[in-house]
Structure 1
Amino acid sequence: MLPKRVMGLLVIFNICFLLLIYRLSQIQLFDPKAFSKHHINLLEESVKQRTQELVIDNGRGNFLDRNGAMLTYKKVNVLVLFPFLKKIDWDVNKVSTITGIPENKLKESVDHAEKPFAYGEPEPFEMTASQMERINALKIPGVFAIERKFERSQIPAEQLIGLTGENAKEVNKRYPNKKLSDNTLIGVSGLEESFDEFLLPDGKSKLVYHVDGDGAPLFGMNVKYVDPANPFYPVNVRTTLNKNLQQKAEELVDKYHIKNGGLVLLNIEDNSVLTLVSRPAIIKTDPYNNYGITNRMLKQQIIGSVFKTVVAAAAIDHQLDDPTRLFDCSKKLNGKPEVQFNYGMLNFTDSFARSCNRTFGELAKELQQNDPHVLEDYAAKLSLIGSVGWQGNIYHTSNFKQFADEDKGRVFMSDQARKDANYVMMSGIGQHEVRATPLAVANMMATIARGGKKEMVRAVSKIEYKNGTTMMDFPEKSLAGDSISPYTAMRLQKLLRRVVLNPDGTGKWFQNLPFDVAGKSGTAETGKYEKGKQLYNKWFAGYFPFQNPKYALVAVQLDVFENEGAVHSLFADIVKLLYEQTRGNE
Structure 2
Amino acid sequence: MRVPRRGSSFIRKRRIAYMAVGITALLLLLLLRLAWIQGTAGIHMSAYGGHSLKEMSVRQRQEGIAIDSGRGQFTDRYGRPLTGSVAWTPVLFPDVDGKTALHGEQLAKLLRTNKNELLSRWKRLQSPLLWRDGRGEPLHIKPDEVDQLLSLAPSLVELVPYSIRYNNVPNDKQWLGFLYERPDRPGQLPIGAAGLERTLEPLLSGVGETFVSRFVDAQRRPLAHAPLRVSAPSNDHYPLQVQTTIDLPLQQQLEKLTETNHLAEGAVVVLDAGNADVLAMVSRPFYNPGRVDPQQTTGWSNRALKAVTPGSIFKLVTAAAALESGVAQPKEQFHCHGTYGKYGLACWKKEGHGTLNLEEGLAVSCNIVFAHLGERLSPAQIEATASALGLSRTVGWQERNLAGMAQFSPLDHEEKGAIFGSHTHATDPGVRVQTAIGQRDVLVTPLQAANLIVTLLHNGQVHAPRLVKHIGYADGGTLLDLPAHASPSPEGSHPIHASTARTLREAMEKVVAHGTGASLRGKSWHLAGKSGTAQALKDGQPVNHQWFIGYGPVEHPRYAVAVLVQNAPQHSANQATALFGQVMDLLAQFSSVPREATRSSS
TM band (smaller chain) = 0.7 to 0.9
Match of residue 35 from structure 1 = none
AA in 2 matched with 1:508? A
Shift of 1:451: 2.4
Q: 1:244 aligns with which of 241, 249, 253?
A: 249
Shift of 1:187: 0.7
Match of residue 3 from structure 2 = none
The 8 Å contact of residues 193 and 294 in structure 2, kept in 1 or not, is answered as: no
Alignment of 1:276-295 (within 5 A): 276-282=281-287, 284=291, 286=293, 288-289=295-296, 291-295=298-302
AA in 2 matched with 1:561? P
Matched, 1:585 2:594: yes
Q: 1:535 aligns with which of 523, 540, 543?
A: 543
Match of residue 36 from structure 1 = none
Mapped to 1, the partners of 2:237 and 2:419 lie a distance apart of 46
Mapped to 1, the partners of 2:164 and 2:331 lie a distance apart of 62
Matched, 1:485 2:497: yes
Mapped to 2, the partners of 1:569 and 1:288 lie a distance apart of 35
Deviations 1:329-367 (A, max 9, x none): 522362766584422222212110110111111112212
Mapped to 1, the partners of 2:348 and 2:444 lie a distance apart of 29
Mapped to 2, the partners of 1:223 and 1:84 lie a distance apart of 17
Compute the RMSD of aligned alpha carbons: 3.4
AA in 2 matched with 1:518? A
Mapped to 2, the partners of 1:534 and 1:367 lie a distance apart of 29
AA in 1 matched with 2:316? T
Match of residue 500 from structure 1 = 512
AA in 2 matched with 1:64? T
Match of residue 122 from structure 1 = 137
Unaligned runs of 5+ in 1: 1-48, 172-180
Mapped to 2, the partners of 1:261 and 1:339 lie a distance apart of 23
Shift of 1:513: 0.8
The size of the alignment, in residue pairs, is 516
Aligned-pair identity (%):
28
Distance verdict in 2 for CA 1:222–1:577, change over 3 Å = same
SS, match of residue 496 in structure 1: helix
SS, match of residue 396 in structure 2: coil
Deviates more, 1:203-212 or 1:484-493: 203-212
Alignment of 1:326-365 (within 5 A): 326-332=334-340, 334=342, 340-341=349-350, 342-365=352-375
Matched, 1:167 2:182: yes
Shift of 1:508: 1.0
The 8 Å contact of residues 204 and 239 in structure 2, kept in 1 or not, is answered as: yes
TM-score by length of 1: 0.79
Mapped to 1, the partners of 2:92 and 2:115 lie a distance apart of 9
Distance verdict in 2 for CA 1:194–1:405, change over 3 Å = same
Shift of 1:244: 1.4
Matched, 1:58 2:63: no
Mapped to 1, the partners of 2:263 and 2:177 lie a distance apart of 20
Deviations 1:214-237 (A, max 9, x none): 543379754321211322111111
The 8 Å contact of residues 325 and 381 in structure 2, kept in 1 or not, is answered as: no
SS, match of residue 426 in structure 2: helix
Match of residue 519 from structure 1 = 529
Mapped to 1, the partners of 2:578 and 2:220 lie a distance apart of 60
Unaligned runs of 5+ in 2: 1-59, 596-602
Matched, 1:375 2:375: no
The 8 Å contact of residues 323 and 329 in structure 2, kept in 1 or not, is answered as: yes
SS, match of residue 158 in structure 1: coil
Mapped to 2, the partners of 1:354 and 1:123 lie a distance apart of 55
Mapped to 2, the partners of 1:137 and 1:270 lie a distance apart of 56
Distance verdict in 2 for CA 1:233–1:338, change over 3 Å = closer
The 8 Å contact of residues 55 and 207 in structure 1, kept in 2 or not, is answered as: yes
Match of residue 178 from structure 1 = none
Deviations 1:46-72 (A, max 9, x none): xxx965323221111111111112213
Deviations 1:444-501 (A, max 9, x none): 0111122222111111111111123221111112112222222221111111111100
Matched, 1:432 2:444: no
Deviations 1:515-540 (A, max 9, x none): 1211111111114465xx52111111
SS, match of residue 519 in structure 1: strand
AA in 2 matched with 1:549? P
The 8 Å contact of residues 79 and 146 in structure 1, kept in 2 or not, is answered as: yes
Q: 1:266 aligns with which of 266, 271, 278?
A: 271
AA in 2 matched with 1:524? A
Deviations 1:388-435 (A, max 9, x none): 011112122222211231111111135863211000111000111111
Deviates more, 1:139-148 or 1:450-459: 139-148
Deviations 1:143-180 (A, max 9, x none): 545432113223754311111111265x7xxxxxxxxx
The 8 Å contact of residues 333 and 425 in structure 1, kept in 2 or not, is answered as: no
Match of residue 321 from structure 2 = 314
Shift of 1:266: 0.9
Q: Which has the higher contact order (CA 8 A, sep 6+)?
A: 2
